[in-house]
């Protein structure tokens, strides 16, 4: 099972005022995170994966990752220094510097990404703010009461999403399609080369209706 968390922000003093006022000082904040990471390391099994979606903070706390027996994955956030990538590689099994799709329906990122309405973006970065759409899932610690987000929770969200049609002329990107290399004679194009979606769909509907009426006698 995959588990996700975002934005530890070890030793970042501003995080208390901005997002975690329940901690009186950064020392209390860091100790709470240390205890949490130790607890998670006892819960996760070898076959699991722990994804940390960026903004680790003080790299002196990377030693905590040595406690995990499962596969560990880190995705760089905007506060992480790429000069530290060699250091992160010592404590995580896999490092991603950019957002990735783990399949055709789930995008993993630090900063929220623009995805289709039938895809899910698992993100961090926004702390106490969320993307208020069912296909966006925040892993920020304070949003999730400092609990891990499970892959099961993520996949269960698909039941709330629409079913997109990606067939030709029905796909969500069709409005931006432009014929470049070879004008197709069966397509109705606007002067700028974009497909005239309304006219094309009307043509297809007309063809279908009259083909059913005339059968083999139908000719366009």
pLDDT at 211: 60
Same domain, 197 and 151: no
The pLDDT assigned to 217 comes to: 54
Residue 20 falls inside a structural domain: yes
CA distances, 89 to each of 72, 85, 140, 206 (Å) = 10, 6, 22, 60
Give the pLDDT means over successive 10-residue stretches in the chain (220 positions). 98 93 97 98 98 97 98 97 95 97 96 95 96 97 97 95 80 78 74 82 74 56
Global pTM reads 0.84
Q: In whole angstroms, give the CA distance from residue 11 to residue 127.
A: 16
| Domain shared by 101 and 206, yes or no | no
pLDDT of residue 167: 77
Residue 24 located in a structural domain: yes
Query: 35 is in which domain, residue-wise?
Result: 2-160
- Which strand (E) or helix (H) includes residue 101? strand 100-103
* Residue 56 sits in the same domain as residue 153: yes
Q: What is the pLDDT of residue 187?
A: 81
d(CA 13, CA 25): 8
56 and 129 belong to one structural domain: yes
């Amino acid at each position: 099972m995959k588990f996700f968390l975002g934005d530890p922000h070890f030793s970042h003093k501003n995080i208390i005022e901005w997002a975690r006022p329940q901690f009186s000082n950064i020392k209390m904040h860091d100790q709470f995170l240390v205890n949490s990471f130790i607890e998670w390391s006892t819960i996760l099994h070898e076959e699991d994966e722990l994804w940390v979606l960026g903004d680790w903070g003080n790299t002196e706390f990377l030693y905590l990752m040595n406690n995990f027996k499962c596969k560990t994955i880190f995705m760089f956030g905007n506060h992480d220094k790429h000069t530290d990538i060699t250091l992160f590689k010592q404590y995580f099994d896999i490092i991603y510097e950019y957002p990735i799709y783990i399949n055709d329906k789930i995008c993993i990122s630090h900063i929220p990404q623009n995805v289709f309405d039938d895809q899910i973006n698992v993100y961090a970065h926004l702390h106490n703010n969320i993307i208020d759409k069912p296909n966006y899932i925040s892993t920020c610690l304070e949003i999730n009461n400092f609990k891990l987000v499970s892959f099961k929770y993520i996949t269960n969200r698909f039941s709330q999403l629409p079913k997109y049609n990606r067939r030709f002329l029905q796909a969500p990107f069709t409005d931006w399609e432009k014929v470049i290399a070879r004008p197709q004679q069966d397509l109705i194009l606007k002067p700028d080369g974009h497909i005239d979606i309304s006219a094309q769909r009307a043509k297809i509907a007309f063809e279908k209706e009259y083909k059913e009426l005339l059968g083999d006698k139908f000719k366009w």
